[in-house]
């Protein structure tokens, strides 16, 4: 079935960077993509981008282009999302999710709260 | 503003049924049979409950079903239970944006 376990909560200063990890288990990591989605408090889901675990191809939302980098480490079945030049508006819960051919996202990680303070 | 349009809230009584709509364009909902739905219980991560418009993953109750007509997809929940109270999101790939898009989410209240 698969499971994704994310790294713990982070508190960062404005202007800093954050790197969130997402460790996969229970399935063949290269066979699926990893999507990253964030959710600000009380708001809806915002897609950030995806990375192919097979060939590391990436696609980022235009809104975050230049500030976000997604990577994978096949040897440890772990995906990473780094977001730079943080602002207060980046305060949110960040989720990773396994994706299949642009069709669905399942399962999701438990979420990582990133808080940006001034 | 989300790319896909959902009602902000719906409500129903236990045992009744409700429908949540998800309206897009021919570049997303109308262009592919790949609409998926996600249930987010309070304080939890989203969970896939419908994919490919109308397919239920293993373990998801058959009280949940999906359909699509033109540029609008729908999630139908029958036999409402208090445990169904959650936020529901639709999602699909938008070929014109080359981006995954979500609806704004619908809060279901079971009165």
Tell me if chain B has a CB within 8 Å of the CB of A27. Answer: no
Q: Are A76 and A60 in contact (CB under 8 A)?
A: no
Q: Rounded to whole angstroms, what are the CA distances from A34 to A74, A85, B34, B79, B93?
A: 12, 23, 17, 34, 15
Sheet containing A18-25: give its strands across: A3-6, A18-25, A78-83, A68-73
User: Which chain A residues touch B2 with a CB distance below 8 Å?
Assistant: 44
Check CB contact under 8 Å for B36 and A105.
Answer: yes
Check CB contact under 8 Å for A95 and B46.
Answer: yes
Q: A92-102 pLDDT, tens per residue?
A: 999 999 999 88
The predicted pLDDT at position B3 comes to 85
Best residue in B34, B45, B104 for a mutation probing chain A (most A CBs within 10 Å): B45
| pLDDT > 90: percent of chain A | 92
Q: B6-49 pLDDT, tens per residue?
A: 999 999 999 999 999 999 998 999 988 899 999 999 999 999 99
Check CB contact under 8 Å for B46 and A108.
Answer: yes
Please determine, for residue B1, whether its predicted confidence score (pLDDT) is greater than 90: no
Average of per-residue pLDDT across A81-95: 98
Q: Are A35 and A14 in contact (CB under 8 A)?
A: no
Distance CA A117, CA B90 (A): 32
What is the rounded average pLDDT for all residues in chain A?
96
Tell me if chain B has a CB within 8 Å of the CB of A57. Answer: no
The predicted pLDDT at position A1 comes to 84
């Amino acid at each position: 079935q698969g499971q994704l376990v994310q790294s713990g909560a982070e508190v960062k200063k404005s202007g800093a960077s954050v790197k969130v990890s997402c460790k996969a288990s229970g399935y063949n990591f290269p066979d699926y993509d990893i999507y990253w989605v964030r959710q600000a408090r009380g708001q809806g889901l915002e897609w950030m981008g995806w990375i192919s675990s097979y060939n590391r191809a990436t696609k980022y939302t235009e809104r975050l282009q230049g500030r976000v980098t997604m990577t994978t480490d096949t040897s440890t079945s772990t995906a990473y999302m780094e977001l730079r030049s943080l602002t207060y508006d980046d305060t949110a819960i960040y989720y990773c999710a396994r994706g299949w051919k642009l069709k669905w996202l399942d399962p999701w990680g438990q979420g990582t709260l990133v808080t940006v303070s001034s | 503003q989300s790319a896909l349009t959902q009602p902000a809230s719906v409500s129903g009584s236990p045992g009744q049924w409700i429908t949540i709509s998800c309206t897009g364009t021919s570049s997303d909902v109308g262009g592919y049979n790949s609409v998926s739905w996600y249930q987010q219980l309070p304080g939890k991560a989203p969970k896939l409950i419908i994919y490919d418009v109308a397919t239920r993953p293993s373990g998801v109750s058959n009280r949940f079903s999906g359909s699509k007509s033109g540029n609008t997809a729908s999630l139908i929940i029958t036999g409402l239970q208090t445990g169904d109270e959650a936020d529901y999101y639709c999602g699909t790939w938008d070929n014109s944006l080359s981006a995954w898009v979500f609806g704004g989410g619908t809060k279901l209240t079971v009165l």
